[in-house]
Structure 1
Amino acid sequence: MLTLSTMTNSQQLPAGSELNDLKIKFFCTNWGMQESWDSFCAKAKAAGYDGVETWLPGNEEERAAMFSAFEKYGLEFIFLNSGNGKDFESYLDNFTQNLQRVVSYKPVLVNCHTGKDHFSFGQNQALIAAAAAISRESGIPVVHETHRGRFSFAAHITKEYLEKIPDLRLTLDISHWCNVHESMLGDQEAAVSLALSRTDHIHTRVGFPEGPQVNDPRAPEWKDVLEQHLEWWDGVVGAKIKQGGSLLTITPEFGPPDYMPTLPYTRQPVSSQWDINVYMMNLLKARYGKK
């Protein structure tokens, strides 16, 4: 965990931002996990993560193993949530039932994959309202991820929701928008700026116009793309400081194959998912500084 009390001159925060004790916590995705919860959590703790972001396991035995590992290694947790159903009404029922279940475990927050890109504005708004009611009742923050296929699949569409729903808060995974708009969003500044100001949680994956994940953000050919993402994330930090926020959570979320490009025939991943995510965490720890 970082406490943001100082920042080097290289950090580009919005003009007028004043530093405070904004805490930044880093969570490890278990996407692609191929080992036991105990082994995975030991590795996450040793790498320097504060917690884990995951879906709640449906199997009771696996849930017990997961919570035991969280406690053993002193890790906090964020849960993901979504819905399923053949139509909107069944989706709404499933979404709310799932959310009520996950908040009962008292995660740091719940990150929702909310709605569908083909649902109407009113339908997606009803899902957001249902999540807000559960959040108020439980006291657990609920945020909604910018994600392809969801209500928030595009910058200009999300802007309309943010304008019409004042308490809507986001998980920013802006890599999706780079892919959807096939650009680095230079012509979507108003929508992006509004999204940055309403973000409580970040997925720090690096996207580009032709895809939601570069093959390796450490490679020099992605320098400009990485720098653009860093500027966006700086904008979130600056907005949090300006708003007097006390906590920002970050999950480096580069994915495994097939999100990670692979070599043909052998399907060997071209980079190490684990190493990239640890790199992203350490890059941001260095960027935002330790007290």
Structure 2
Amino acid sequence: MAMIREIFKRNKDKQGTTMPNKDSKDIPEGLMTKCPSCKQITLTKELKSLHKVCPKCDHHFKMTAYERVESLLDEGSFESIDDHIKSENPLGFPAYTDKIRSDSEKTGLNEAVLTGTGKLNGQEIVVAIMDSHFRMGSMGSVVGEKITRAVEAATVKNLPFVIFTASGGARMQEGVLSLMQMAKTSVALKRHSSAGLLFVSVLTHPTTGGVSASFASVGDINIAEPKALIGFAGRRVIEQTVREKLPEDFQTAEFLLEHGQLDAVVHRADMKEKLSTIVRLHTKGAV
């Protein structure tokens, strides 16, 4: 560590925050991670042990779907479903297929959502986890299909359904087909609700557009991670429409909680226990 600190001292960035020299062969790539909020530099291994939350300013880093599974579900309990479904290019959008293939190779996912079954402190649930590293978590036909199938599986198995949302909204490369997923997923969730089953929606940064306007906001219980951006249209669009200056914390999880649009804001370190308690209290026969 003494060597690393010396290299940091010699190589300061423009803000005065010490950073390793990118050309240095002394420091393995990915060893350290810089917080985009407070610029604190933390060992990547330590950051992972903290559920990817900055130890200085509490900034919640984005998580991959598989990191979320590891931090949330009981070890070895997760079984993914519908990994075989692949996106097509129905509108012939230029380079769309190549971008999907590239993101799939980068993330190890077939699409921007990972679905499956698993155990949460011993309680079986069906879970869907959106991953913003795949096309910014945008919702296309396959995302909507996978979420719908996951909800239907939860209904058939008489299980709670939990979703972690992270999305830029509907995917423009699929046009109206992506917008149709808003209705399709909502119908599946209505059937799940009519069966008397629990749906918990966890909104993470960012949850916007058609995702925020459909399945992300219709949970029996809606919770969010701290400071998550949640909204439909962007701040500038709204300000230009209403011709008013919006509050600085507008569209944050805390703002939505204050105005009654969320049930709770939960720190990531507490997420597993909070969700476990919710599922246990709302599941018949749970211990």
Q: Same fold (TM over 0.5)?
A: no
Structure showing greater relative contact order (alpha-carbon pairs closer than 8 Å, 6 or more residues apart): 1
Rg larger in structure: 2
